[in-house]
Structure 1
Amino acid sequence: MTIRILQPEDAEQYVALRLEALQLNPEAFLTTYEEMMQDQNMRETWKARLSPSPDAFTMGAFWDGSLAGVCTLIRESHRKLRHKASVVAVYFTPAHRGKGGAKQLLSRLIEKARELEGLEQLSLTVASNNEPARQLYLSLGFTRYGTEKNALKHEGVYQDEDYMAMRLFP
């Protein structure tokens, strides 16, 4: 497995993985498959979004050259919030789950986050009933600090979300 920050030229593989994620695990994402498919310039949109910056980047895990997992870090832009960043859009293909790749990928993202000057805290949300993901985040040092009931509603079904955070320098 190879882990690295994605670049614009990875957009094709990223889009395919993102569409898979939205189809297989729609309850885990704010965006729906249908919403993403409405973007007539989807590949160009994602080429632009995958241009890494000090405030936002996407890490990818590759198995045999194929993108198998992703996670994104987005730093807060307001001066009073610059010490925080969010981890979003975490996904691993079902074929590669349970092999430790997601933990390696997120560990690498945490390492990169620690290199960012002034960044002190990471936060994320996770579906309350997604026990494998919750356990993964806990094993990496995240702690749960709240739950939002009915946070998402997809096809008439509500989904609670746990709020989790970790201090980068405890």
Structure 2
Amino acid sequence: MEIRKLQSSDAVKYFVLRLEALQTNPEAFASSYEEESKNTPEIYQNRLEGDFSYTFGAFEQEELIGVASLVLEQKNKIKHRANIYGVYVTPEKRGLGVARKIMGVSIKKARQLEGVEQIHLTVTASNEPAKKLYQSLGFKTYGIEKNALKVENTYFDEELMVLFI
């Protein structure tokens, strides 16, 4: 397995995996399949070329099996913060350490960036495997957002987590 920063040439693979993520685990993402399926791979190409975000992917024989995005804050008062969004591993590859490796690369990158002091993320409060992973990497819960997401008629709480680096 190879972990690397996605390039604009990976946009189609990223788009396909992103739509899979939104269909497989709609409770884990603020975006919906219905919204993002209207996008084009070019939109993802632009995201992957951004100056203030790094999307890392896990590849197994050229197949993209997992992703996470590290996004830097741009406002002066919060430039010391970065966020991790969109962590996803395709179901048949879960439990093999893929997310841990992607998160490790993301955290390492954040530590290399001048001025970044903390990394924030949110996780669905009922997602115990993800919470255990993040806790094992040093993230601490600092709050719960009740009813943060509503998927159809079901509400999901999100845990707000931070890692001071």
Question: After TM superposition, is the score higher than 0.5?
Answer: yes
1:36 maps to a residue whose letter is E
Partner residue of 1:48 out of 43, 46, 49: 46
The DSSP-based 3-state class of the residue aligned with 1:109 is: helix
Shift of 1:115: 0.5
Aligned length: 165
1:34 partnered with 2:34: yes
Structure 2: tracts of 5 or more residues without a match? none
Report Cα offsets for 1:73-112 as digits up to 9, x if no partner: 1111111100001100110000110001110110011001
Aligned counterparts of 2:141 and 2:55: Cα–Cα separation in 1: 23
Distance in 2 (CA, whole Å) between partners of 1:100 and 1:106 is 10
Shift of 1:37: 1.8
User: 5+ unaligned residues in a row in structure 1: which ranges?
Assistant: none
**1:68-147 equivalence runs, <5 A:** 68-147=65-144
Q: Which TM-score applies when normalising by structure 2?
A: 0.98
CA RMSD, 1 decimal:
0.7
Structure 1 residue matching 2:158: 3-state secondary structure: strand
Q: How far, CA to CA, are the matches of 1:37 and 1:112 in structure 2?
A: 30
**CA positional deviation for 1:48:** 0.6
Indicate whether 1:67 and 2:64 are aligned: yes
Task: Give the CA deviation at 1:52.
Answer: 4.5
Q: 1:14 is matched with which residue?
A: 14
Could you tell me whether the CA contact under 8 Å between 1:5 and 1:52 is conserved in 2? no
Paired letter, 2:75 = H
Q: Which runs of 4+ in 1 moved over 3 A?
A: none
Aligned counterpart, 1:160: 157
Distance in 2 (CA, whole Å) between partners of 1:97 and 1:30 is 21
Match of 1:22, SS state, is helix
CA contact (8 A) 1:52 1:58 kept: no
TM-score, with normalisation over the residues of structure 1?
Answer: 0.95
8 Å CA contact 1:6, 1:52 repeated in 2: no
SS at match of 1:17: helix
